[in-house]
Amino acid sequence: GQQLNQSPQSMFIQEGEDVSMNCTSSSIFNTWLWYKQDPGEGPVLLIALYKAGELTSNGRLTAQFGITRKDSFLNISASIPSDVGIYFCAGQLGGGSEKLVFGKGTKLTVNP
Amino acid sequence: DAGVTQSPTHLIKTRGQQVTLRCSPKSGHDTVSWYQQALGQGPQFIFQYYEEEERQRGNFPDRFSGHQFPNYSSELNVNALLLGDSALYLCASSLARGGYTFGSGTRLTVV
């Protein structure tokens, strides 16, 4: 089945630093999504990408849909303490397949 | 505008028992998906319901079943619980093939 390889597994950074994480897959996805999950909560959508090569920003967050459609990255600029949480990438095959395939997550810790 | 509502928030069951989890989708959404999230893992797709029928299913045994009601709410049933079924169960709703909104989940512990 489809799998997403998300890296790094965890990151420890200082407040103000920039962060980068990525996802790769052996399968082609038609949609890439990035979610953030806080403890005891469900994932919250940060950015959705629908076209190969697409670069989309949401405030301090920027994500790109790889041109091969097999990868995506998420950058967070000037991190702040509330950025702490687990970030997940998710891919959607499309073409009638509606399920989301998730990576294992990147746990981000921001030291003030 | 209420988002996705799941109940209960936590429950503890014994091996072999059966459990029913409930989900009310976000207002205006007609599609409900269920995911299982084990500790330290990403969510895994169980199945999706649309127009009261199972539209797509992931790699989960038949012990996992579901239902969608005319008001679009949904239930997830798990029979013959195993210790390995302990997880956070997430419900996500969407409008047809639109973006997903997740609930906060039900934490199931099987002892």
Which pLDDT tens digit goes with each residue over B54-72? 999 999 999 999 999 999 9
Tokens 């399968």 locate to A27
Contact of A95 with chain B, judged by CB distance below 8 Å, is answered with: no
Is residue A23 a contact partner of residue A73, using CB atoms and an 8 Å limit? Answer: yes
Which chain B residue shows the shortest CA-CA distance from A50? B99
| pLDDT per residue as tens digits for the range B31-58 | 999 999 999 999 999 999 999 999 999 9
Q: Which residues of A touch B56 (CB under 8 A)?
A: 97-99
Which pLDDT belongs to residue A62? 98
A5, A82, A39, A21: CA torsion to nearest 10: 0
pLDDT band of residue A7 (cuts 50, 70, 90) is very high
pLDDT band of residue B97 (cuts 50, 70, 90) is low
| pLDDT per residue as tens digits for the range A63-98 | 999 999 999 999 999 999 999 999 999 999 887 778
Q: How far is A57 from chain B (nearest CA, A)?
A: 17
Which pLDDT belongs to residue A93? 86
Q: What is the DSSP letter of A106?
A: E
Which pLDDT belongs to residue B108? 98
Q: Is the pLDDT of residue A1 over 70?
A: no
Burial class (CB in 10 A: 0-12, 13-18, 19+), A45: middle
Which pLDDT belongs to residue A94? 81
What average pLDDT does this structure show over B75-80? 98
Mean pLDDT (chain A) is 94
Q: What is the DSSP letter of B25?
A: P
Q: Is the pLDDT of residue B83 over 90?
A: yes
Which pLDDT belongs to residue B67? 97
Q: Which residues of A touch B44 (CB under 8 A)?
A: 102
Burial class (CB in 10 A: 0-12, 13-18, 19+), B22: middle
Which chain B residue shows the shortest CA-CA distance from A89? B42
Which pLDDT belongs to residue B96? 64
What average pLDDT does this structure show over A33-62? 95
